[in-house]
Structure 1
């Protein structure tokens, strides 16, 4: 059985991408070579004990209201949104809050791992388009920062 040499440059690039995006795991596959890079996330959160209150009705779906907005922060993965670090705790952010770049906006649970969604830039939270325990898709707008 032939062994494939490790492409350390590719591993480093994937690890850097992992850190830049805040993801906990990334995989690259060319058919001949498969590289998986993962890190441990130390955020602790649990599912809420009671059903979450429905999001305020804005008259438009979250995708329609935030997708084209230049300040939209979108989901980097498929998962379930949690607005607070644990049940009963205050939300990470609320509408009107001023956030710094890198501040945690919410958590996305994917495969039993809680991934923080961080602010890509500083600004004011103009809208939160996701509700607690809501399933989200890749690229779905979740928060608008102005």
Structure 2
């Protein structure tokens, strides 16, 4: 295969990009074999930026209401009012540990550094590590392992 782009390859790449848009996938990789030593590998990816979603103040989400504050820590009326809130950046299923049976990423009282993984959110069969946005101590964990979360849902409070 010569190195100049062929019209069929360009059409193929455009079709893959359109498939990403239609299916809300973030990336796709395909290998096309033309012969023994003639392979075209195409990876098409896109960056998704989530639009801000208005959050109703005063209506606690089920996971936050289900978990009480640790002893000696006063419960905030609404976790979204807490300045240390870490909110979900996406819709998915939250996991507090890397795999079943392993220790959790963080526990109440742990000190975290900025960028440290605090939990995972599975979205569209992809495990997304959620980093601590700033250093601090884990004050409350507002979700249960394996529970579904919405965009903007309270996950953890750092102090």
Settle same-fold status: TM greater than 0.5. Answer: yes
- Give distance in 2, aligned partners of 1:106 and 1:91: 8
Q: Which structure 1 residue ranges, 5 or more long, are not aligned?
A: 1-23, 27-34, 39-53
Displacement of 1:108 after TM fit? Answer: 0.1
For normalisation by structure 1, the TM-score amounts to: 0.60
1:122 equivalent in structure 2: 135
Aligned equivalent of 1:96: 109
- 1:65 is displaced (CA, Å) by 3.6
Deviations 1:13-42 (A, max 9, x none): xxxxxxxxxxx949xxxxxxxx9525xxxx
Please tell me the root mean square deviation across aligned C-alpha atoms, in Å: 3.0
Offset from partner CA, 1:75-128 (integer Å, 9 cap, x none):
000000000000000000000000000000000000000001100000000000
The answer for unaligned runs of 5 or more in structure 2 is 1-24, 28-43, 48-62, 70-75
Distance 1:69 1:95, change over 3 A: same
Shift of 1:64: 5.7
Q: TM-score, normalised by structure 2?
A: 0.55
Question: 2:67–2:143: 8 Å Cα contact kept in structure 1?
Answer: no
For the pair shown, the structure with the greater C-alpha radius of gyration is 2
With CA pairs under 8 Å and 6+ residues apart, which has the higher RCO, 1 or 2? Answer: 1
Q: Which runs of structure 1 show a deviation greater than 6 angstroms over 4 or more consecutive aligned residues?
A: none
